[in-house]
Amino acid sequence: MSGPRGYRVAVLAGDGIGPEVVAEARKAAEAAGARFGFGLDWVDYDLGADRYLRTGEVLPDGVLAELREADAILLGAVGRPDVPPGVLERGLLLRLRFELDLYVNLRPVKLYPGVSSPLADVKPDDIDLLVVRENTEGVYVGAGGTVHRGGPAEAATETSIETRAGVERCLRFAAAKARERAGRLTLVHKANVLVHAGDLWQRAARAVADEAGVALDYTHADAACLYLVSDPQRFDVIVTDNLFGDILTDLGAAIAGGLGTAASANLNPEGGPGGLKERSGSPPVHRSPSLFEPVHGSAPDIAGTGRANPVAAVLSASLLLDHLGEREAAAAVEAGAVAALPGAAGYSTQALGDRIATAVAGGGSPN
């Protein structure tokens, strides 16, 4: 169905509650498609713990080649206690980020009406920011190793690799987001200790901010954690490296009410919808699809109980539609999810998804 007003979406439902929340995200996206006049062709892929334990495969090359042809990828969650740590995280999630060059991890931190924050006296308008995390460099590249494992002289290294090109392209995306919002960009790093990488980020950030015409601020990573708790309104768009972004965004999810509403996008901003795209007067250009997923894990302890909150997956589907250019549909999906939040704990996963889909379809508020 990929083509004008039709999109092919690869689905990696994954493990635990992943299939349950993805089913509700699909339901909301389909309701938006019916309302706004576009189609979604869902293609399911068997990737995750079950496949690994059955075959030893994590992400076969042939499957990766098929994923490249999708317009976007929707992922539920991966991981299970009977799979060794790192197998699925590195072999599936990180490999997809590196192979598809998904160099931006975008995580909105937003307190929605009807959601309680652990912070005292904060209102929804007080917490509304974006974190732009560099997604393909830093310590996550896997450079390093261990020698003399198990012995008294054992030593381990993890090397962080930052490139000017990688830093600049992430900063440009963040600056563009800041320009669309309040014009404020905050670089978060630890330049007083990580002097080499920190200096690269600071110099590049000043140049990009000047070029984009946005105001630039700098905050140490530890101070940023403090300010997210004590003064979240201080931030509008945060840009940071891979490791600090990983840490800050979980704290951001906590102050915004928890992982139940925490959505994320792993973006190749130049890619747009993936697959082969025609270019006037030139051969088709291959563009990598972007990947969208809720921040929460697979929660195997509640899988199958109907207690999983699908809102983060639905909000991730909203980000997916926005990336595909279906902005009205994306806004409707977000509004439907937000409308269903008050009293959401009283509904099963499927019932809450039905309420959201009804609102998205134009059936009015689910309350």
Residue-by-residue DSSP string for 292-303: EEESS---TTTT
Q: What confidence tens digit (pLDDT) does each residue in 243-273 have? A: 999 999 999 999 999 999 999 999 999 866 6
Asked if residue 304 has pLDDT above 50, the reply is yes
Tell me, what's the pLDDT at 320? 98
Residue pair 21/55 in contact by the 8 Å Cβ criterion = no
86 and 193 in a single domain? The answer is no
Share of the chain above pLDDT 70, in %: 93
242 in a domain, yes or no? yes
Share of the chain above pLDDT 90, in %: 90
Domain end point (choices 256, 274, 292): 256
Residue 110 lies in a domain: no
Structural domain containing residue 364: 1-105+259-367
Q: Which one is catalytic: 190, 236, 322, 347?
A: 190
pLDDT for res 365: 59
Mean pLDDT, residues 64-93 taken together: 96
Is the predicted pLDDT of residue 343 greater than 60, yes or no? yes
What is the CB neighbour count within 10 angstroms for residue 39? Answer: 14
Q: Do 220 and 300 reside in the same domain of the chain? A: no
Tell me the two tokens of residue 339: 């409308």
Spot the catalytic one: 46, 210, 250, 301. Answer: 250
Running DSSP on this structure, what letter comes out for residue 259?
A: G
- Reference 367, options 126, 27, 30, 113; nearest CA is 113
Q: Which tokens hold the place of 314? A: 């639905």
Residue-level pLDDT at 201: 98
Q: Is residue 346 part of a domain?
A: yes
Average pLDDT value over all residues in the chain: 94
Do 66 and 30 share a structural domain? yes
For residue 208, CA distances in Å to 42, 49, 172, 255 come to 38, 42, 6, 29
The rounded distance, in Å, linking the Cα atoms of 122 and 243 is 28
Identified catalytic residue from 45, 140, 236, 241: 140
My answer on whether 251 and 303 are in the same domain is: no
**pLDDT(277) > 70:** no
Question: What residues have CB less than 8 Å from 106, skipping those under 6 apart?
Answer: 130, 131, 132, 133, 177, 264, 265, 267, 319
**pLDDT tops 70 at residue 279:** no
Q: In what order do the strands lie in the sheet with 104-110?
A: 39-44, 6-14, 72-77, 290-294, 263-267, 104-110, 128-134, 237-240, 184-189, 215-220
264 and 321 part of one domain: yes
Host H or E run for residue 218: strand 215-220
Domain tally, the chain: 2
User: Domain for residue 111, yes or no?
Assistant: no
Is 364 a residue whose pLDDT tops 90? no
Backbone phi, then psi, for 366, in 5-degree steps?
-75, -5
The single residue of 222, 231, 277, 301 carrying the catalytic annotation is: 222
Do 139 and 235 sit in the same domain of this protein?
yes
* Confidence check: pLDDT of 366 > 90: no
Cα(83)–Cα(308) distance, rounded to whole angstroms?
22
pLDDT above 70 for 363: no
Q: What distance in Å separates the CA atoms of residue 78 and residue 58, rounded to the nearest whole number?
A: 11
Beta strands in 35-153 (DSSP E): 39-44, 72-77, 104-110, 128-134, 138-147
Statement to judge: residues 241 and 279 lie in one domain: no
What's residue 270's pLDDT? 82
Nearest CA to 129 out of 258, 22, 232 is that of: 232
**Confidence label for 5 from pLDDT (cuts 50, 70 and 90):** confident
State yes or no: pLDDT of 188 exceeds 80: yes
227 is catalytic: no
Residues 157, 265 within the same domain: no
Query: What distance in Å separates the CA atoms of residue 62 and residue 71, rounded to the nearest whole number?
Result: 17
Instruction: Provide the β-strand partners of residue 239.
Output: 132, 187
Any catalytic annotation for residue 27?
no
When comparing pLDDT for 365 and 171, which is higher? 171
Q: Can you give the pLDDT at residue 20?
A: 98
Which candidate in 126, 217, 246, 354 is catalytic?
246
- Establish if 62 belongs to a structural domain: yes
User: Does 122 score more than 90 pLDDT?
Assistant: yes
Q: What is the mean pLDDT of residues 103-117?
A: 96
Per residue in 131-158, pLDDT tens? Answer: 999 999 999 999 999 999 999 999 999 9
Concerning whether 140 is annotated as a catalytic residue, the answer is yes
- The residue among 280 and 89 whose pLDDT is bigger is 89
pLDDT tens digit sequence for 214-247: 999 999 999 999 999 999 999 999 999 999 999 9
236 and 138 in one domain? Answer: yes
Are the CB atoms for 288 and 100 separated by under 8 Å? yes
CA proximity to 167, closest of 141, 144, 198: 198
What pLDDT score does 281 carry? 53
Q: Is residue 122 located within the same domain as residue 248?
A: yes
Question: Residue 119, CB half-sphere, CA atoms under 13 Å: how many?
Answer: 23
Q: Which residue has the tokens 């990947």?
A: 291
Domain CATH number, residue 283: 3.40.718.10
| pLDDT(275) > 60 | no
Is 45 known to be catalytic? Answer: no
**Mean pLDDT in residue range 344-357:** 95
Q: How far apart are CA 240 and CA 31, in angstroms?
A: 35
Same domain, 322 and 288: yes
User: pLDDT tens-digit profile of 308-322?
Assistant: 999 999 999 999 999
> What is the pLDDT averaged over residues 58-63?
97
266 and 344 share one domain:
yes
Over residues 166-185, mean pLDDT: 98
Residue 46 annotated as catalytic: no
